[in-house]
Amino acid sequence: MRYWLWLAAKLLGIAVAVVGLWALVVRLLPPHPGGLLANWPRLGVDLGYTLAVFLLGLGAAGLLAICAWDQRYRCRTCGRRLRMPAASGVFSSVMLGGTPNTEYICTFGHGKLEVPDVHTSYRPAKWTRYDGIWDDWRRAEEKRPR
């Protein structure tokens, strides 16, 4: 649940930033021209306005891409950043099914993310959820004779 709340918070922050920048751009640009161009749309006619719309759209797309990239490397349970990348697999056996990947784990034991290193075909990142792995280890430690 925290994972989705964190994504919603980031998207809301991006929306507020873009709307705020748009309000600033509208305030700083000169008003719409009158006369023969009064009824025309401003986007294709006014160079400054068109450039501002383009740059703001490009900036918004960049912020959304950064948001998606950041969200990919977060725990699906708690929303924290995944840590401890570990390489697995062998590059020489790519065609045999042993494709190399990088595994990231949640330090609170919620799961791991396997991200493929070689893109021979479409293989998305795979999230594996763990059910209380730290609890199991803690119980095993308590049962160990001293």
Q: What is the tens place of the pLDDT at every residue in 77-132?
A: 888 899 999 888 777 766 666 678 889 998 888 888 888 877 766 778 888 888 76
Task: Decide if 78 is inside a domain.
Answer: no
Residue 68 and residue 88 in one domain: no
Last residue of a domain, one of 28, 49, 72: 72
Number of domains in the chain: 2
The pLDDT, as a whole number, for residue 22 is 92
Which residues span the domain enclosing 96? 83-143
DSSP strand pairing (83-88 vs 101-105): antiparallel
Query: Does the pLDDT at position 58 exceed 80?
Result: yes
Q: DSSP of 24-86, one letter per residue?
A: HHHHHSPPPP-GGGTTS-STTT-HHHHHHHHHHHHHHHHHHHHHHHHHHTB-TTT-PBPEEEE
pLDDT score recorded for residue 65: 97
Give percent of the chain with pLDDT exceeding 70.
89
Report the pLDDT value the prediction gives residue 13, as an integer from 0 to 100: 96
Residue 133 counted as domain residue: yes
Q: Given 72, 101, 134, which residue is the final one in a domain?
A: 72
Tokens of 51: 């450039």
DSSP secondary structure letter of residue 42: S
Cα end-to-end distance, the chain, whole Å: 40
- Of 49, 72, 95, which residue is a domain's last? 72
The β-bridge partners of 104 are 113
